[in-house]
Structure 1
Amino acid sequence: MLASFLDAVPDFAAEPVRVVAEDDWFAISFVLTGANTGPFTRTPGPSTALPPPADPGKLADHWGLVDLATLFAQLQS
């Protein structure tokens, strides 16, 4: 899946903008950029930029959380 995404967005970049750490917990915020120029999961590339330009008054960013430790533990069981 990752290789397919990188083929579809060959100039993909992730720039860390904020790192927070405390004890054994950490979080990193990234700004993701690139242009979707190729097919991804059998859908043709629309040649659009990531992130898309924001319209005034519209949502301009997205926050998500991935708990990789729990995900990997579930995949191994």
Structure 2
Amino acid sequence: MADLSMPTCAGDTTIPVDEPSELTAAIRVGERLLAHYGTVDGGDIFAYIQAHGGLAEALRLLLRALAAERGEQP
């Protein structure tokens, strides 16, 4: 049977990936929520309720990330 094990490498060969800050991630999520829930067509009450929840969540995430960046407790 053939040896399929990986050769041993000296040192860490992984590529470091910078994680986005909490504020950057919150902004991206907020932008997506606004894009999805930002406009409501017609008089569909369920669409208004869904939009309100999405926009409230976007605002909550942004405020939490801002508080974390300032070192405050949410």
**TM-score, with normalisation over the residues of structure 2?**
0.23
**TM-score if structure 1 supplies the norm length?**
0.22
Instruction: Choose 1 or 2 for highest CA Rg.
Output: 2
Return the structure number with greater strand share: 1
* Structure of greater relative contact order (alpha carbons < 8 Å, 6+ residues apart): 2
More helix by share: 2
